[in-house]
Structure 1
């Protein structure tokens, strides 16, 4: 199973409801992890998955340090664009060198 399938096993609504459940009942447990461990089986996911959802929600809401989901998506897009531009630049450098050499050969044959 690839990462995309794992991410889509639970709908956004289920994730949001699960995170809200943890946040609403967090005070009833000695720690965030204890709350997550108690609630995760009721949702049908492993505690580490639910904990990631809670952390992601806290980051997106500004309650925890880190890049928001939209910032992460934008960063990934920029990194992808940067790779593509570097690749295109290398192709252009190679082509430029090829044509420069061809022109030099043509001039020297005269």
Structure 2
């Protein structure tokens, strides 16, 4: 049973990066219609999924399809998610700030209310 697990599996290919120009060329070849996605993928040593995704994204960017985010919207969403993550980290850091050494946990903080006397504020603060 364990012998069969390794059979038939291809080794995992390292992640590759492609230029926007190369992707545009692949999309153009696919949109001509003389070759299938599978043929284009084999000819250029790509995965069929990558080719399909590039064509779909090009269609969304061109307004042909409306079932996804445009490239500009994707970039904006990524930037907003980065900012949101950074702000959450900032809030977490602020929440870790130690309590003031002059106050004990649960002790009421005196608040100045305009027009009240100092003695009255002190009485209310310690109630």
TM-score by length of 2: 0.61
- In structure 2, the gaps of 5 or more residues are 1-13, 105-127
Give the count of matched residue pairs. Answer: 90
- In structure 1, the gaps of 5 or more residues are 30-34, 106-110
The CA distance in 1 between the partners of 2:19 and 2:92, in whole Å, is 42
Task: Determine the structure 1 residue equivalent to 2:102.
Answer: 103
Task: Determine the structure 2 residue equivalent to 1:19.
Answer: 27
Is structure 2 residue 49 aligned with structure 1 residue 48? yes
TM-score by length of 1: 0.69
CA apart distance, 1:7: 4.4
Is structure 2 residue 84 aligned with structure 1 residue 76? no
Larger helix percent: 1
Task: Determine the structure 1 residue equivalent to 2:11.
Answer: none
The CA distance in 2 between the partners of 1:7 and 1:56, in whole Å, is 18
**Structure with more contact order per residue of length (Cα contacts < 8 Å, sep ≥ 6):** 1
For the aligned residues, what is the CA RMSD? 2.0
